[in-house]
């Protein structure tokens, strides 16, 4: 009896034939898993969490250049019912909160790669903010700020708002200059409704509400949650070097430059 030409003629052929379905099954299952992971990451990044890195020293010592964080996008979100607040605990913005937001000057300049800033909320809507020689008062009362540091050469005015209306910074929006009001202690800035006055902890080098004006509440994305990685490098590294250049540096110096003790720090 002649063997069927369609049937395997030896054990090796049968093994190869039976292995193909298993290989395809493995590829299909792993491709499915990868797609599920990508969908989950996209969902988390779009609705719950936002990843970002600190490229400048404006928030030292609270945050360091090279800290990579996850921001909680639901922290201040408006919710329709009690169930949403139970699942995603939320609260109103308070003085002293660190917030992540769409950066007004970067939006204006069209710098899509640098759209997020992180600063601390100092003044709430309706409050009078006055700063003299880096000492802040709110509604005429001194504000205790144990987090403030003064590192680097002063690049931002240490007093705000200017007593002379001709001395507003070039970048400060004209529509907010009328918020400066005279008080018994001098000129103060009344934070407009629906806005917050935000500053960096390192006041010498922080371009903040003193420079680009009060922050619209609608531009706030969330609040920092945890550091998932911290890599010790300079601002030039994060702002000006190419992706491939940064990747090569990480491959070479990952263990040495990683700040292991900062990983998983919670805010």
Q: What is the pLDDT of residues 136-193, one digit of tens each?
A: 999 999 999 999 999 988 889 899 999 998 899 889 999 999 999 999 999 999 999 9
Number of Cβ atoms within 10 Å of the Cβ of 104: 19
Domain containing residue 215:
54-262
Do 205 and 239 share a domain, yes or no? yes
Q: What is the pLDDT of residues 105-137, one digit of tens each?
A: 776 766 655 678 999 999 999 999 999 999 999
Q: What is the pLDDT of residues 228-248, one digit of tens each?
A: 999 999 999 988 899 899 999
Do 37 and 100 share a domain, yes or no? no
- pTM metric for this prediction: 0.78
pLDDT of residue 17: 46
pLDDT of residue 260: 94
Query: Is there a domain that residue 155 lies in?
Result: yes
User: What Rg, from alpha-carbon coordinates, does the chain have?
Assistant: 27
> DSSP of 57-114, one letter per residue?
GGGTTTS-TTEEEEEETTTT---SSHHHHHHS------TT-EEEEE-HHHHHHT-GGG
The answer to whether 120 and 201 have CB atoms below 8 angstroms apart is yes
Query: Is there a domain that residue 144 lies in?
Result: yes
Residues 35-43 have a mean pLDDT of: 58
Query: Is there a domain that residue 160 lies in?
Result: yes
Do 76 and 120 share a domain, yes or no? yes
Do 179 and 103 share a domain, yes or no? yes
Q: What is the CATH number of the domain that holds 163?
A: 2.10.109.10
Quote the number of domains for the chain: 2
The span from the CA of 47 to the CA of 160, in Å, is: 36
Portion of the chain with pLDDT greater than 90, in percent: 56
Mean pLDDT of the chain: 83
Query: Is there a domain that residue 114 lies in?
Result: yes
Q: Which residues contact 266 (CB under 8 A, 6 or more apart)?
A: 225, 226
How many residues are present in the chain? 267
């Amino acid at each position: 009896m002649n063997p069927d030409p369609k049937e395997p003629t030896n054990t090796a052929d049968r093994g190869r034939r039976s292995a193909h379905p298993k290989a395809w099954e493995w590829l299909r299952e792993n491709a499915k898993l990868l797609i599920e992971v990508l969908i989950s990451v996209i969902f988390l990044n779009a609705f719950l969490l936002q990843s970002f890195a600190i490229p400048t020293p404006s928030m030292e010592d609270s945050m360091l250049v090279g800290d990579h964080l996850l921001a909680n996008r639901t922290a201040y979100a408006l919710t329709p019912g009690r169930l949403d607040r139970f699942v995603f605990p939320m609260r109103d913005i308070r003085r002293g909160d660190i917030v992540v937001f769409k950066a007004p000057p970067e939006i204006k300049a069209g710098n899509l790669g640098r759209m997020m800033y992180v600063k601390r909320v100092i003044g709430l809507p309706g409050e009078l903010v006055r700063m003299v020689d880096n000492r802040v008062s709110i509604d005429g009362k001194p504000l205790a700020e144990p987090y403030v540091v003064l590192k680097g050469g002063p690049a931002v005015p240490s007093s705000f708002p200017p007593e002379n209306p001709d001395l507003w910074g070039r970048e400060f929006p004209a529509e907010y200059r009328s918020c400066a009001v005279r008080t018994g202690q001098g000129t103060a800035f009344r934070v407009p409704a629906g806005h917050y006055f935000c500053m960096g902890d390192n006041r010498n080098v922080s371009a903040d509400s003193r420079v680009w004006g009060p922050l619209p509440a609608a531009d706030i994305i969330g609040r920092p949650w945890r550091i998932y990685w911290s890599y010790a490098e300079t601002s030039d590294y994060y702002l000006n070097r190419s992706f491939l250049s940064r990747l090569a540096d990480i491959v070479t110096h990952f263990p040495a430059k990683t700040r292991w003790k900062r990983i998983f720090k919670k805010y």
